[in-house]
Structure 1
Amino acid sequence: MKKLFEKLKTFNTTLVFILTLIILGVSIFLFTLSNVYTETYEIERFSNASETIRSPITIEDTRETERRQREAIQSVDDRYVISQEVTQERLDYVGELFDAIETVDETSIDEENIDEFEEEETDPEDIEFERSSSDKLIDLKQLLSEHLTDALSDDDLLSLIQMSENEKEISYELLTTTLREIFNEGIRRDDIEEAQELLNQRLQYSNLDDSIQEALDSVGQFAIDENSFFSLEDTMEAEREAIENVEPAMIRAGEVIVREGQTISNEIYDQLALVGLLSNDRNVFPLIGLFVMSLLLTGLLAYGMAIYFDIKNKDSKHLFAIAVIFVVTLGIMKFISYFTTDENQLYFLMPIATSSLLLKILYNEKMTLMFSVVFSIIATIIFNGEIPGSLNLEAGIYLLFAQLSSMIALIAIKDRMTIFKTVLATGVVNILVILTFIFLSYESYQLRDIFLHSGYGFIGAIVSGILTIGVLPFFESVLGILSDTKLLTLSSPNHPLLRKILTEAPGTYHHSVMVANLSEAACESIGANGLLARVASYYHDLGKTKHPHYFIENQMGIKNPHDYLSPKQSATIILSHPYDGARILREHKLPSEIIDIAEQHHGTTLVKYFYYKQKEIDEHVKENDYRYPGPKPQTKESAVISICDSVEAAVRSMDTPSKDKIDELINSIIHDRLIDGQFDDSALTFKELNKIKLTISETLNGIYHTRIKYPSEDYAKEEL
């Protein structure tokens, strides 16, 4: 595997980057294809369904809706309007009759008879007039309208004329009250006989004489007439309301249209055709939409990786790692989606935090944020229950919070327990998000469901931590990607190579620790990898252990061996230490980033001391013979370490380092390296160099700060 990646290193990084984007885009398309693409069927009417078929979309069955509307219209009764004018007109006829009867009775007593009775002191009301009923009938008929005289017989009129005053009042009240009640109910043309029968029944319940009842019945039969008339406007309004109250016949996405073994009726066949399960035409558009979505998400990833991912200084293995994380994450999502239902929301178990943890550990926070958003968008499609056109926003929101919480909680890796602490925090966030969904839902959840789904969220977080710790060695060893956890392991003082430096070259070990402190602070000030700079600084002078006493920091209590060598021999030993160190690092299979820094930390600089010493002997000496073979620093971390290495060694050689001297020394070293072109391949900017100067100065002045000079014992005695 490693040999394969060594070969891939020689590939054009841009080409590999493009291939990686193609893999990401194709993965998005393929993993979400079944969630938007609908399978079609070749089915004949009245055959038996070979499987249960569900609707892929939500659509209105217009034919069924129209049928329901027709039924609703047919169920609407005709609307009638009661005419108050007709009612009052018919009641006025009754009033006219009784008024006429009252008038006839009053005029039956003439004025002459009244004078005669007054002389005899007789009350006229106690006198029975012998005027014939026929005369009264004649007078009454003269007072009544033609409609009444035509409708009522003479016998009926005579019965009414002969009523007493009490009977008149009772009859009038009974007849008008009954008629008003019947009219208020509304009398249609077909209901006249029924209304007349009702009036007859009411009259029969009275205590009046039969003749009077018959007369009143005749009056009522005449008075009863149609007063309720059909209203086209009201009927149409009622039909409109009935249509509006009909709910559309909807076929919901995921709804079973036909079950396995069920006969395909005409209605079912029409529904299958309506939702597009019998035709391939409709399936083209979801594919186009999915293709566009894949392009958009791939474009977002391309933009983010181009900005937040240092492509030039990353080889193919880093791009391969991104592709592996992406494809595996989508694969796990797809696998879980096959077992997810509305009742059992297994996406809460999704160990999505693994991807965010790996991306942050292997790369950076901005890359993690970008991929978190993309994963969440894809999750809304994958967990849609394979219902085209629908999105599971709940799944997307849940997975987004799970990723963001793990990314934020993982501040700095000190050991592998840090990952477990991070996933515990993620588990708490997962539970809170799940409870939020439950409490916002209108559905009633049982306590068992609350604990079950919350448990899913917490288990998903714990599994994420286990997977992260289990997968990291694959990226660190097999793919050779340097992670923070790997760097922390390499920084342990118990590492064999660090112990080798400590025991064989203690001065070099102390120098490396000082360079590590300076490099880490300087790298963090410009946004470079401070942890990588620290650990690489520990190993950058490992090659000095081959000839430790030929380096001044290890010459404690011995004469300088270079005094017995020629400048050429001394220079050969000095110039070889970066490559001796790189060779030892390769033998111990340390990460390539640390090996590269060990080789590059001197770049192609000149060993000035021995060069000028040889020049005193031979003016024709070649400068290239006294320069390091290189290469020059290729990364910001390597360039910073090269500066800090030279500055620390130079400051340590000062007798009385002061702030001004230190600043002048830093400026001089950086200026010489710039003039010599040592930073040409490192991508350092002048602004970053100024930050590096300031940080190194502050750190060194903190170490070599001015101390108070305490008075000597003799001076103190003199003061006394």
Structure 2
Amino acid sequence: MNSFLSKFSKNQSLLYKGLLFISATLLIIYFLPKGGQFKYDFDKGKPWQYENLYAPFSFTIKKDKETLEKEEKSIRDSAIPYFDKDTSAVSESLSRFSESLETSFIDSLYADKALIKNIGETILKKVMGRGITNEVHPYSESKLIYIKNGNEVEEVLYKQIYTEDDITATINSELIAYELPNTKSYLSSILERSITANVTLNSRLTEDAITSEINAINPNQGIIEKGARIIAKGEVVEGNTFKILNSLSAEYESQIWSKSNQLWLLVGYSILIALVFLMLFLFLKKYRLEIFNNNTKLTFIFFNIVLMIFLTTLIIKYNASYVYVVPLCILPLVLKAFFDPRLGLFVHVLTLLLLGFIVPNSFEYLFLQIIAGIVTILTVSELYKRANLFISVGQITFVYIVGYFAFSVIHEGNIDTIEWETLGLFIICGLVTLFAHPLIYLYEKIFGLVSDVSLLELSDTNSKLLKELSNKAPGTFHHSLNVANLAEAAANEIGANAMLVRVGALYHDIGKMKNPTMFTENQVNSINSHNELEPLESASIIIGHVIDGIEIARKHKLPDRIIDFIRTHHGTSLVYYFYKKESEQNPDVAKENFMYPGPIPFSKETAILMMADSVEAASKSLKEPTSTKINDFVEKIIDGQMEQGQFLNANVTFKEIQQIKKVLKKKLNNIYHLRVEYPE
């Protein structure tokens, strides 16, 4: 049991990588469209690259989206609307007419009451019998409509029903036929008040009829028999041929994705996706071993790949024409902020290879996204400068628009058919890409990573922790600034992360705040506190500043990448002065008691800091420094560190160490350059 637990403990990192690999593969398989893949790749307006294609089976030619939309529009335009006639409205209007006549009739002024009532009721029934509407409709007078009166449906022209504006003129024209001296205007006013609209549009019935007709549209426009030639090699894919190929592709994919073939298709997808992730693992193992060994960073990369595929799938399921609104360029942008440009571009390309299974017009999509990714990597430098991100996003959007314009011209042969909405999607995509800054901040909090933006904030010497260092240990603070300048120059020389080295140098000695006077740079007089202590006790205080520094850093929530500089800046070196002093008194002294706990530097940046720190601190002991003394002094210190094996785990070459020495010598010569003495 113990041996099993021991093996599990040793291999848990590898097991986690395997679990991450399998989980990501299964998630992406789940996101993939459930259908087979047509074995020919073709684009409208481009020549057919394969041999003559013959129909492998009989299939129907599907109407394209535009044709179906035109037919649907035609049905809607020609649809006959349904109107409802209110049967109770006539009796209600007659009742109002009778009441108005009873209350307002004057025998001495008007004609016979019974006659007026009879004429009024006749006109009212006639007008309302045709129908009156108080609604406004976009129909022409010659538009055919259906009027539903109970269970009966009457077919009439729209002009045959009255509107409320027609009532007065209609009543007056009807009254012309009657001899009613001094009574027509009276009767007309009563009728106007009594007659009400009794015809309304039945939207539900009209829409149901339209929907029924739309559903009855035949999605096919012909049949291709098995063995018929579809296209010849070199023939341009366009017009009806393009429709036939799309129909064949759809039919082929639906036939392939059957219950009997489903398992094999899943196996095929699994192999291809696994190959993509395998390439990522191999790249990281060969060129980015530090990231490969760090499960948090590995999880971060896989999370971003899966997230981008998930967002793209979500948009495609909603509306495939919105696929370009997904800000894929955030992926290389974020990876470049946390790692390096080459890794950002490599992961971006691998993600696009996976998206090739999902997106429509995959060649066009991949081309535009790869170009945009390259532009992202080439243009975004110093992401912590906000203006750079805006400029880069503008360039990315411009590349999208120019690329889409070129594809549109190639496919259609003119610019009349360019979809301007797609250009708007590119602009929206660019605006969403600006979300990179808050996203980077969010990732820093979730995954414990650190970007150049955070490094810039940490490099501010007015920050709370550095102010505390300058107040409690001013000599150490000054030493840290000098080391930061030396380390930054060396990092620039060999192409290391200069910003990271500078910040690491500023914080590497914060542990000295606990006992500042125990370190010579903070002693303001000739009294040395170590004179009263035993060498072993003094050594433990000196060595303790590393542990104290780590504790202070964690308390102030500094990123782990900065704490690494505190932990490694002395490696496993020996506190030689106190060891020598103790060995003079006790020859059998244990050397381990006078050594820093380590670990030794494990990156170029931490190695640079060790060299710069040792050289800067020891340079204070130089008396009457000259160029020769400085050269020998730098060589001696760094060669000694190499002999102790301090750089064995750091990814730094002999050539780079020589370049670092050269920079340190030059900087120290500038610092200790003596001015010419002028006569008083």
TM-score (norm 1): 0.61
Judge which range, 470-479 or 532-541, deviates more: 470-479
**Out of 286, 292, 295, which is 1:307 matched to?**
286
Relative to 1, partners in 2 of residues 1:712 and 1:349: Cα closer, same or farther, differing over 3 Å? same
CA distance in 1 between counterparts of 2:303 and 2:509 reads 35
Distance in 2, matches of 1:311 and 1:289, equals 32
Q: Counterpart amino acid of 1:431?
A: I
2:424 to 428, 441, 455: 455
- d(CA) in 2 for partners of 1:274, 1:305: 36
Q: Structure 2 vs 1, CA of residues 439 and 699 (structure 1 numbering), >3 Å: closer, same or farther? A: farther
Question: In structure 1, which of residues 589, 611, 617 is the aligned counterpart of residue 557 of structure 2?
Answer: 589
Does residue 395 in structure 1 map to residue 365 in structure 2?
yes
1:296 and 2:288 are equivalent in the alignment: no
Residue identity matched to 1:421: I
* Structure with the greater alpha carbon radius of gyration: 1
CA distance in 1 between partners of 2:401 and 2:59 (Å): 44
1:519–1:641 contact (8 Å) kept in structure 2: yes
- CA distance, structure 2, for counterparts of residue 454 and residue 291 of structure 1: 35
Asked whether 1:422 is paired with 2:381, we answer: no
Q: In structure 2, do the counterparts of structure 1 residues 340 and 673 end up closer, same or farther at CA, with 3 Å as the change threshold?
A: same
Alignment partner, residue 96 of structure 1:
none
**Residue of structure 2 in register with 1:484 after alignment:** 452
Three-state SS of the structure 2 residue aligned to 1:36 is: coil
Q: Secondary structure at the match of 1:335?
A: helix
Match of residue 433, structure 2, among 444, 461, 464? 464
Letter in structure 1 aligned against 2:331: S
1:25 is aligned to: 25
What does the per-residue CA deviation read over 1:475-524, in whole Å, with 9 as the maximum and x for residues that have no partner?
A: 21221112222212211122211111112112111111111122223334
Change in Cα spacing, 1:587 to 1:278, as seen in structure 2 (3 Å) is closer
Q: Which amino acid aligns with 1:406?
A: T
Per-residue deviation, 1:640: 2.0
State the partner residue of 1:431: 401
**Equivalent residue for 1:375, pick from 351, 359, 367:** 351
Q: Letter of the aligned partner of 1:354 in structure 2?
A: I
Give the conservation status (yes or no) of the 8 Å contact 1:33–1:290.
no
Aligned-partner Cα distance in 2 for 1:669–1:607: 14
CA contact (8 A) 2:571 2:597 kept: yes
How far apart in 2 are the matches of 1:568 and 1:676?
Answer: 22
Specify the code of the residue in structure 2 equivalent to 1:610. Answer: F
Q: Is the 8 A contact 1:16 1:319 kept in 2?
A: no
Structure 2 distance, partners of 1:331, 1:368, is 19
Matched, 1:353 2:329: yes
Equivalent-residue separation in structure 2 for 1:671 and 1:532 (angstroms): 24
Matched, 1:685 2:653: yes
State the partner residue of 1:662: 630
Cα gap change, 1:558 to 1:446, in 2 (>3 Å): farther
For residue 652 of structure 1, report the CA deviation from its aligned partner.
2.8
- Structure 1 position 652 matched with structure 2 position 641: no
Going from structure 1 to structure 2, the CA distance change for 1:398 and 1:553 (only over 3 Å counts) comes to same
Whole-Å Cα distance in 2 between the matches of residues 328 and 358 of structure 1?
Answer: 13
1:25–1:297 Cα contact (<8 Å) kept: no
Match of 1:409 in 2: 379
Q: Separation in 2 of the partners of 1:10 and 1:506?
A: 45
Tell me the equivalent position of 1:541: 509
Select 1:605's aligned residue among 547, 562, 573: 573
CA shift in 2, pair 1:418/1:558, >3 Å: farther
Corresponding residue number in structure 2 for 1:366: 342
Say if 1:500 and 1:689 are closer, same or farther in 2 by CA, change over 3 A.
same
Preserved contact between residue 13 and residue 311 of structure 1 (Cα < 8 Å): no
Q: Deviations 1:64-100 (Å, cap 9, x if unpaired)?
A: 89xxxxxxxxxxxxxxxxxxxxxxxxxxxxxxxxxxx
Q: Which runs of 5+ in 2 are unaligned?
A: 1-7, 39-52, 61-226, 233-239
- Describe the SS at the equivalent of 1:441: helix
Residues 1:252 and 2:269 aligned together: no
Amino acid at match of 1:338: K
1:283 Cα deviation from its structure 2 partner: 5.5
Find the counterpart in structure 2 of residue 198 from structure 1.
none
Shift in CA distance, 10/537, structure 1 to aligned 2, threshold 3 Å: farther
Following superposition, the deviation at residue 307 of structure 1 comes to 2.7
Aligned to 1:36: 36
> Do residues 709 (structure 1) and 676 (structure 2) align?
yes
Higher mean displacement: 316-325 or 559-568: 559-568
State TM-score, norm by structure 2. Answer: 0.65
Q: How far did residue 9 of structure 1 move?
A: 11
Q: Alignment partner of 1:381: what SS?
A: coil
Contact 2:37–2:253, Cα closer than 8 Å, also in 1: no
Is structure 2 residue 55 aligned with structure 1 residue 60? yes
Change (3 A) 1:339 1:444: farther
> What is the alpha-carbon distance in structure 1 between the residues aligned to residue 587 and residue 262 of structure 2?
83
What is the distance in 1 between the residues matched to 2:12 and 2:646? 25
Identity %: 29
Whether contact under 8 Å (1:605, 1:628) holds in the other structure is: yes
Decide whether the 8 Å contact of 1:35 with 1:381 is kept in 2: no
What do residues 326-347 of structure 1 show as CA deviations (whole Å, max 9, x unaligned)?
1101001111212344xxx312
Q: Residues 554 and 281 of structure 1: is their aligned pair in 2 closer, same or farther, counting only changes over 3 Å?
A: same
Which amino acid is the alignment partner of residue 411 of structure 1? S
Task: Number of aligned residue pairs: give it.
Answer: 485
- Aligned pair in 2 of structure 1 residues 584, 339: CA closer, same or farther (>3 Å)? same
Question: What is the rounded CA distance, in whole Å, between the counterparts of 1:616 and 1:707 in structure 2?
Answer: 38
Task: Note the C-alpha offset of 1:668.
Answer: 0.9
For 1:30-109, what aligned pairs fall within 5 Å after superposition?
30-34=30-34, 36=36, 60=55
CA deviation digits over 1:360-416, x for unaligned, max 9? 1111111112122222223332112xxxxxx52111112212222212111123344
Question: 1:505 aligns to what?
Answer: 473
| Deviation, structure 1 residue 576 | 0.9
> Which range is displaced more, 667-676 or 294-303?
294-303
Correspondence for 1:69: none
Alignment partner, residue 536 of structure 2: 568
Q: In the TM superposition, what whole-angstrom CA distance separates every residue of 1:452-487 from its partner, at most 9, and x where no partner exists?
A: 222211210220221x22322232122111222221
Q: 1:580 to 1:498 in 2, by over 3 A?
A: same
How far, CA to CA, are the matches of 1:678 and 1:313 in structure 2? 22
SS of 2:434 mapped into structure 1: helix
Amino acid at match of 1:252: I
**Letter matched to residue 676 of structure 2:** K
Per-residue CA shift, 1:560-613, capped at 9, x if unaligned? 222333333322221211111111001111111221221221122221222222
- What's the secondary structure of 2:34's corresponding residue? helix
Q: Residues 37 and 283 of structure 1 are in contact (CA less than 8 Å); yes or no, is this contact kept in structure 2?
A: no
C-alpha separation in 2, matches of 1:591 and 1:496: 15
Give me the whole-angstrom Cα distance separating, in 2, the residues matched to 1:357 and 1:273: 39
- Separation in 1 of the partners of 2:482 and 2:600? 22
Calculate the aligned-residue CA RMSD, in Å: 3.4
Shift of 1:634: 3.1
- 2:548 pairs with 1:553: no
AA aligned opposite 2:362 = N
